[in-house]
Structure 1
Amino acid sequence: MGTENRKQREREARETLFVEKAHELIRSEGLLALQMSRLAAACDYATGTLYQHFNSKEDLLAAVATRATRQRAELFRCIPRLPLGTRSRMLAMVLADIDFAQANPDYYRLTQFVTTEVVWASTSEARRQELLDAAQPISQAINAIVAEARANKDLPPAQEMGEEEMGLGPWALNTGMQALANAQGLLDAYDIHRPYEHLIRHTHALLTGWRWEPRIDPDEPSVVRAETERVRAIVREHIPEANS
């Protein structure tokens, strides 16, 4: 191995160490408690070495969010190939993300913080682009399912909305409910419980409103539960990572 290749590998290994340790500290001590000097010490490096990799704390947080987003995106990359109908695969997108959020309770809090205006504006363009690129497989999977549903006539032909615009609906529902579920005490104040059950029912309401076949009435709890259990079982059978 040449000197340049060795140095590059060492740099990549060092950056991976910083990101993994930062994520560990965020999980154990909270997002706002993370300090650059303490992270460097925990990794047995000088603070200056840490700043050779990340220009700011905002860049570091974006890198942590990017790493977690890549793991999340791998789940979605597999969903268009599941042995399910197109509507059930769209539900699988939601269920896989619910499972991911429950296994990684800090993920949505971190990404919400990173994408707030003040933090996002202080993050370098390169780190912002890495995070956006990491999420691309998610939108690509959604678009592929919508396109297949139209080709199969599970959905009516497009009028004004393209695949990307139609995919915005489930994405907005999911992101909004995750934001509410992770705002500690907010839903409790309104006596709203089981947010993910509400997310599943609202998803069915949206898909049925689009006339996505086979239609499911979101106000029939037993039908909704049966479909959830059936789809979740297939997701976990074909995507082992969904169990972790």
Structure 2
Amino acid sequence: MPPMPKYSDQAQEDLILDSAAKCIQSSSLLDFTMSAISKEAGLSMGSIYKHIQSKEDVLVALGYRSKVHFKNLVHQIFELPLPPVAKIVAVQLMDHSLVSDIGFGPQLETLLGNESILKRASRRWLEKFMEINIEVEDVFTQLLLHACESSELLVAQDEKANLVNEIVTSSWSLCVGHTQVAMQRGSRNILDQGIPPPVRYESDATIIQTLKRLLNTYQWKSPLTSELIEYTCGQLQQSGLR
């Protein structure tokens, strides 16, 4: 009888991705190598390629795992005793030094917006990555649909679907765009001219105030006030998310 494997398939895959994250952290999203991952994991290249076929697979797999982690955090936030509009803002008020699973998450997410990279990934990881992105978007969509049904968000029945899509798309675009700007400003550190992005946003941060202005253009039973934002910060702190 052959010897039992040292790791289960899932444990081996987790080990590979943990090792990949360490290799990227010590080098970069572009400079890491498959051989370095093999050495860090203590696994043969054959074992590595059983789970990950290319560097693009590594990036997409890490992107998938990071998005699963993010989805779990969003679920945790959406269970807090907050009105729906505050839950949306709460996602931006998390302390990333406490909740992030990898230190290069925003940079990875930007890289995975590149279609040429995605096309080089294996179908298995690409499908998983696309599916989790859709699932995350659906979590926000369901929050808003429930807000409509409970009359927390006032909207005519025939306008509900369009309005929900509008809020999800506009708030998502605003937050992603702000992250891009923050990273570009931070990259000026190469010439000692950068502004390091904060690990968490305070209630008066530009992105929070802009998101407040955007969301309050809609008819909420409980609009987003400064007092509600402060209360939201307190709820996040009590939950260990801030």
Q: TM-score, normalised by structure 2?
A: 0.80
Alignment deviations for residues 82-141 of structure 1 (CA, whole Å, 9 cap, x no partner): 211122122222223866787744101012112312211111222112122333453233
Partner residue in 2 for 1:206: 214
Aligned partner of residue 135 in structure 1, secondary structure:
helix
Alignment partner of 1:66 is 2:74: no
Equivalence map 1:142-161=2 (5 Å): 142-158=140-156, 159=159, 161=162
Distance 1:39 1:91 in 2: 37
- Identity across aligned pairs (percent)? 20
The one-letter amino acid paired with 1:208 is N
The alignment of Structure 1 onto Structure 2 pairs a total of residues equal to 231
Partner residue in 2 for 1:220: none
Q: What's the offset of the Cα at 1:39?
A: 1.3
- The counterpart of 2:45, out of the listed 44, 47, 54, is 47
**Which structure has greater helix proportion?**
1
Distance 1:186 1:29 in 2: 16
Q: Structure 1: which 5+ runs fail to align?
A: 217-222
Q: Does structure 2 conserve the Cα–Cα contact (< 8 Å) formed by 1:89 and 1:145?
A: no
Alignment deviations for residues 201-230 of structure 1 (CA, whole Å, 9 cap, x no partner): 1111111112334334xxxxxx63x43331
Stretch of structure 1 that moved more, 97-106 or 74-83: 97-106
Partner residue in 2 for 1:180: 181
Q: Structure 2: which 5+ runs fail to align?
A: none
The one-letter amino acid paired with 2:43 is Y
Partner residue in 2 for 1:219: none
Q: Does structure 2 conserve the Cα–Cα contact (< 8 Å) formed by 1:180 and 1:187?
A: no
Q: Does structure 2 conserve the Cα–Cα contact (< 8 Å) formed by 1:96 and 1:235?
A: yes
The one-letter amino acid paired with 2:172 is W
Equivalence map 1:1-244=2 (5 Å): 10-96=8-94, 104-158=102-156, 159=159, 161-185=162-186, 196=201, 197-216=205-224, 224=226, 226-238=227-239, 240=240, 242-243=241-242
Cα distance change, pair 184–7 in 1 and its aligned pair in 2 (3 A)? farther
Aligned partner of residue 211 in structure 2, secondary structure:
helix
Q: What's the offset of the Cα at 1:9?
A: 5.7
Distance 1:205 1:97 in 2: 22
Aligned partner of residue 123 in structure 1, secondary structure:
coil
Root-mean-square deviation (CA, aligned residues, Å) is 3.2
Q: Does structure 2 conserve the Cα–Cα contact (< 8 Å) formed by 1:58 and 1:122?
A: yes
Alignment deviations for residues 138-192 of structure 1 (CA, whole Å, 9 cap, x no partner): 3233123212322233322142615344311211111111122223546898999
Aligned partner of residue 162 in structure 2, secondary structure:
coil
Aligned partner of residue 216 in structure 2, secondary structure:
helix
Distance 2:101 2:146 in 1: 30
Stretch of structure 1 that moved more, 46-55 or 167-176: 46-55
The one-letter amino acid paired with 2:217 is G
Q: What's the offset of the Cα at 1:73?
A: 1.1
Aligned partner of residue 129 in structure 2, secondary structure:
helix
